[in-house]
Amino acid sequence: MKIKIKVKEGVGILELVGNIGIDSSDFVETVGRVLNHQTKDIICNFESVNLVDYVGVSLISVIYKNVLNHKGKIELYNVPSHVMRLFSIVGLDRIFKFHTSQEQAMEAIKHEREMEQLESEPLRRRFERIPFKATIEYRQKLLEDEPFCEGRIVNLSVDGVFIVCDKLFSIGDLLATRINLQPQPGIIEADVKVVWLADEEIQLEDYPGMGLEFCNITSGKQEKIAQFIEKHLTHHSR
């Protein structure tokens, strides 16, 4: 395969051409050089990738782990439908976020870095998990025709929410939610990922329940949640 590299706004952009398989060790090596000598944030354009076989899947997994070890971010865009199907079969769709344009992938990395910066600032109150009773509606993200289920929020943070509910999903599943934060900001629509399930023996009062982590959420929505939490904490500290 052929790889063209450029760096834009501190992000390494890899244009991939050809097949990703047994003869693609240069893909791993190229990413390694970029991480070691240029930048730790990478996006890959899959538009001209014709084929990814199971060896290629292993190589992509190695690349993902290498980026994480360098405390970097990696995003993919323009992934062909046949490659998406393979990624879905092997579970890579639960690891990577797929974007439709370079701009969207760049924005995703920018947002993740902004949130990291926010976490490093003296605003820890915003990231506290507050006890909070409200309703939440949720369904699988990709099944738009599926009706929303209803659950009860137990606690909330800028990072995610824990809910008690009748219908559970599997860890790693991506859900669409509507979170009711009254009186303001009102209904927040956000994508979440299931990151843990309550244990009946340990968390009897909160069973059945799911821990949900926000993902693909805009900085504007996350800021509204942060302001809500900050106001809630201020009110209860009086």
The per-residue DSSP string of 186-203 comes to: EEEEEEEEEEEE--TTT-
Q: Structurally, what CATH architecture does the domain formed by 124-237 represent?
A: Beta Barrel (2.40)
What local confidence, expressed as pLDDT, does residue 205 receive?
Answer: 75
Structure token digits, residue 24? 């693609």
What local confidence, expressed as pLDDT, does residue 120 receive?
Answer: 55
Return the CATH number of 2-120, one of 3.20.20.70, 1.10.3720.10, 3.40.50.300, 3.30.750.24.
Answer: 3.30.750.24
What local confidence, expressed as pLDDT, does residue 123 receive?
Answer: 45
Q: Could you tell me the residue ranges of all domains in the chain?
A: 2-120, 124-237
The residue ranges of the chain whose pLDDT is under 70 are: 117-130, 203, 233-238
What local confidence, expressed as pLDDT, does residue 237 receive?
Answer: 45
pTM of the model: 0.52
Distance of alpha carbon 101 from alpha carbon 45, whole angstroms: 9
What local confidence, expressed as pLDDT, does residue 234 receive?
Answer: 54
Distance of alpha carbon 223 from alpha carbon 51, whole angstroms: 40
Nearby residues of 203 by Cβ (< 8 Å), 6 or more positions away: 209
